[in-house]
Amino acid sequence: MCGVVGYTGKKPAAPWLLDGLATLEYRGYDSAGIQVISPSGNLHGVKCAGRVATLRERCDSANPVGTCGIGHTRWATHGAPTDKNAHPHTDCSGRIAVVHNGIIENFQELKRELMAAGHTFKSETDTEVIAHLVEDAWAGPAKGDLVAALRNACDRLEGAWAIACVCADVPNQIVVTRKSSPLVVCSTDEGAYVASDVMPLASVASSVLQLQDNDFALLSEDGRVEITNREGEKVEHPETITIDWDASAATLGGYSDFMAKEISEQPEAIERLLTNRLGEHGIEMDELSMSKEELASIDRIYIIACGTSYHVGLIAKSLIEKWAKIPVSCEYASEFNYSDVLVTPHTMCVIITQSGETADTLTAARRMKGMGSTVFAITNVLGSSAARESDGTLYIQAGPEVAVASTKAYTAQMAASVLLALRLAFANGSMSREEVERRYHELEAIPGLIREVLARRWQPRQAAKLFRDKHSALFLGRGVNSTTAYEGALKLKEISYLHAEAYPAGEMKHGPIALLEPGFPVVAIVPADSVHDKTVSNIQESIARGAVVLAVATDGDEAVAKLCQDVLWIPPVENEMLVPLVAVVHLQMLARFVARARGLDVDKPRNLAKSVTVE
Ligand code: M6R
């Protein structure tokens, strides 16, 4: 949720800290700050509410000089996004500073205790208690040993954390640790680095070390990284993650924003995922780590996810039930965690999460594992918590997704779900090899169809005008495309702040129809499929009440063209179950054009963060 960086070495720290924070800004952008140890041996902090760009301007005038420092970009949980609540936070002496991602659940009790002992607090954050706890440990049992001081402080904490800590008394050291929040470190000739994820490190290293819960790493200016566990024992073989993409994959590469870039990358992402998948098991998916017999015995599946990934889950449910004939429940992770679960000896749990770090989803996965279920993850981020904690992981290989609004991960996760449904269907005998191959070839055609839609971007650009001066919109679709409606509405509200509601088209008459009045925008997904005519009837009901209807329809649908104000055309898709992969691309572009017309930052919508690591 927040981004953490740190560097100690030969180079000036501030420039890399600022670049690293800019890369991590997708995790939160309410405020940002850095703390550098100056050559005179004092902490020099610069922090402010707002974006990393504002912090950069502040640093231009404050000029923090030094070769060791830490930085943070924040998604506010405790305390408003103000200068004083921005990290890093310091102790009473101003010689110890910390940055933190996560939540300290017992901070109030600790704060009371520390204040009673004479500590003075400057912020409303939970994080500040860490700086004061380190201060006490440094002054007492751990003097001279920053790792021991942080370990001592962490012994008092409850909750989740990724922490980086510096102390002006040991001016070239950074100590970091984590529990339930990701943190990676790397060692180079120029120094040692730490970051919340691999993205900022891709420009300085080809592989990084993944810290495990309660690992502590001491980073030294000569580039050394020493990792110990909670008991102080050396961690001999830390997990290594090879960065198998170029640092340029996380840059704009000529696009005006990441959302535009990521929308356009969808065909290649799906093609990568489909490579070498056809084989003797119908679909080859070694990632499942389950035998054919185990797969064949699955009698119930829980799909658990949040947000856009939950929408993928809804489609995956339809695909698995239709093709593999296995009953599936698709659940919002945040709700699932507090509901009753029916686990049989052959229940499988599938978690879908782009980031692999969504706290609600991880909690749900742990709960399912605890009840004896096999957990399979569909994720994008290599070495993420979801991947590490699951029994098997299918990486969608979409490359870094930077824009907060998920686009390429949505379609790649959907393609992964198609593969999973086919694998299960073949394993339990619901589908013959020939049929699996037919469906696979239909899926293979999808990237080409998405390219055609991308080439029609002028259509959503023009249609975006329908939303000028509007405050609300209703999205309708039937069958698998009710989910396309949900996703289209989520994209629109997320980045344009326009209220958008989505309903299965047939449900409209049971309530939402009351919203309709002359000029009210309705977006209807009405491809040439088995429910086409029913959806057309719902369009007619909307028009009868004065709604302005924008349709997503299949080339050549004259009836829809005549009825609707405007149409976003998609090429014919052979299998109607795969239409959502193509139709959604128009809605992604539409949301982006509407948001841009409103002058909004499409990559960093207000109040949101890419990776939601709090429950
Ligand atoms: O990383 P995850 O897929 O677990 O994230 C889940 C949601 O937070 C995410 O899909 C969110 O809804 C997106 N901002 C939607 O565009």
pLDDT, tens digit, 9 for 90 and up, residues 158-200: 999 999 999 999 999 999 999 988 899 999 999 999 999 888 9
In this prediction, residue 242 carries a pLDDT of 86
| % residues pLDDT > 90 (the chain) | 86
Name the residue with the closest Cα to ligand 1, atom 4: 353
Is pLDDT above 80 for 114? Answer: yes
User: What is the band of 247 on the pLDDT scale with cuts at 50, 70, 90?
Assistant: low
Closest CA to ligand 1's atom 12 = 307
Give 32-89 as a 3 state SS string.
Answer: EEEEEECCCCCEEEEEEECCHHHHHHHHHHHCCCCCEEEEEEECCCCCCCCCCCCCCE
Strand, helix or coil at 423? helix
Strand blocks (E) in 430-546: 472-477, 499-504, 521-526
State mean pLDDT over 577-591: 98
Contact 567, 553 (CB under 8 A): yes
Q: Average of pLDDT values for 247-251? A: 72
- Going by the DSSP 8-state scheme, the letter that residue 569 receives in this structure is E
Question: Looking at 259-390, which runs of residues are DSSP E strands?
Answer: 278-279, 282-283, 300-305, 328-332, 347-353, 374-379
In which element (H, E) is residue 470 found?
none
176 CA to centre of ligand 1 in angstroms: 27
pLDDT score of 262: 97
Please list the residue range(s) of the chain that carry CATH number 3.40.50.10490: 258-444, 455-597
Which residues, 6 or more positions from 521, have their beta carbon under 8 angstroms from its beta carbon?
Answer: 466, 467, 470, 472, 473, 474, 547, 548, 550
Cα gap 83→32, rounded to integer Å: 9
Residues 546 and 517: beta-carbon distance below 8 Å? yes
| Catalytic residue numbers, as ranges | 2, 610
Mean pLDDT of 610-615: 78
Strands 184-188 and 191-195: antiparallel
- The backbone torsions φ and ψ at residue 20, rounded to the nearest 5 degrees and listed phi first, read -60, -40
Q: Cα dist. 50→2, 33, 103, 493, 580 in Å?
A: 13, 10, 21, 22, 37
Tokens of 236: 């001999």
Residues sharing a CB contact under 8 Å with residue 192, sequence separation 6 or more, in sequence order: 7, 8, 9, 174, 185, 186, 219, 220, 221, 223, 224, 225
- Report pLDDT for 113: 97
Say how far apart CA 48 and CA 30 lie, in whole Å: 9
Q: Looking at residues 265-275, what average pLDDT do you find?
A: 97
Beta-sheet pairing, 89-90 with 68-74: unpaired
C-alpha–C-alpha distance, residues 445 and 22, integer Å: 37
In the structure, what pLDDT confidence band is assigned to residue 575 with cuts at 50, 70 and 90? very high
- Tens-place pLDDT, residues 472-515: 999 999 999 999 999 999 999 999 999 999 999 999 999 999 99
Is 258 strand, coil or helix? helix
What is the arithmetic mean of pLDDT over 449-472?
A: 97
Phi, psi of 74 (to 5 degrees): -115, 140
Cα separation, 51 vs 28, whole angstroms: 9
List the structure tokens of 52. Answer: 């990393």
Find the 232 Cα to ligand 1 centroid distance in Å: 37
Residue 524: strand, helix, or coil: strand
| 304 CA to centre of ligand 1 in angstroms | 12
* Lining residues, ligand 1, CB within 6 Å: 306-309, 353-355, 358, 361, 404-406, 494, 612
Q: Closest residue (by CA) to atom 9 of ligand 1?
A: 307
pLDDT reading at 264 higher than 90: yes
Domain 3-250 has CATH 1.20.1440.230: no
- The two counts, helices (H) then strands (E), for the chain are 20, 26
Query: Cα(first)–Cα(last) distance of the chain, in Å?
Result: 11
> According to CATH, where is 3.60.20.10 located in the chain?
3-250
Give the mutation target among 26, 309, 494 for probing the ligand 1 site: most ligand atoms within 8 A of CB: 309
Gap from CA of 309 to ligand 1 centroid (Å): 6
Taking the alpha carbons of 282, 286, 287, 291 in that order, is the dihedral positive or negative? Answer: positive
Contact at 8 Å (CB) between 137 and 145? no
Read off the amino acid at residue 577: M
Question: What is 258-444's CATH topology?
Answer: Rossmann fold (3.40.50)
Task: Tell me the CA–centroid distance for residue 308 and ligand 1, in Å.
Answer: 5
Following CA atoms 554, 558, 559, 563 in sequence, which dihedral angle do they give, to the nearest 10 degrees? 100
Q: Phi and psi for 220 in degrees, rounded to 5?
A: -115, 160
pTM recorded for the entire structure: 0.85
| Distance in angstroms (rounded) separating the CA atoms of residues 568 and 563 | 13
- To test the pocket of ligand 1, the residue of 306, 310, 613 to mutate (highest count of ligand atoms within 8 Å of its CB) is 306
Task: Specify the pLDDT at position 237.
Answer: 86
Residues 6 or more apart from 275 whose CB is under 8 A from it? none
Pocket test for ligand 1, best of 360, 406, 408, 497 (most atoms within 8 A of CB): 406
In terms of Cα–Cα distance, which of 252, 198, 245, 200 is closest to 22? Answer: 200
Class of domain 455-597: alpha beta
Q: Measure the CA–CA gap between 389 and 395, rounded to whole angstroms.
A: 14
Give the tens place of pLDDT for each residue, 322-373. Answer: 999 999 999 999 999 888 888 999 999 999 999 999 999 999 999 999 999 9
Mean pLDDT computed over every residue of the chain: 94
Q: Report the atom number in ligand 1 closest to the C-alpha of 306.
A: 6
What's residue 29's pLDDT? 83
Separation between Cα atoms, residue 576 and residue 529, nearest integer Å: 6
The residue written with tokens 């994959």 in the block is 249
Nearest ligand 1 atom to the CA of 404 is: 14
The confidence score (pLDDT) of residue 295 equals 94
User: How far does residue 404's CA lie from ligand 1's centre (Å)?
Assistant: 8
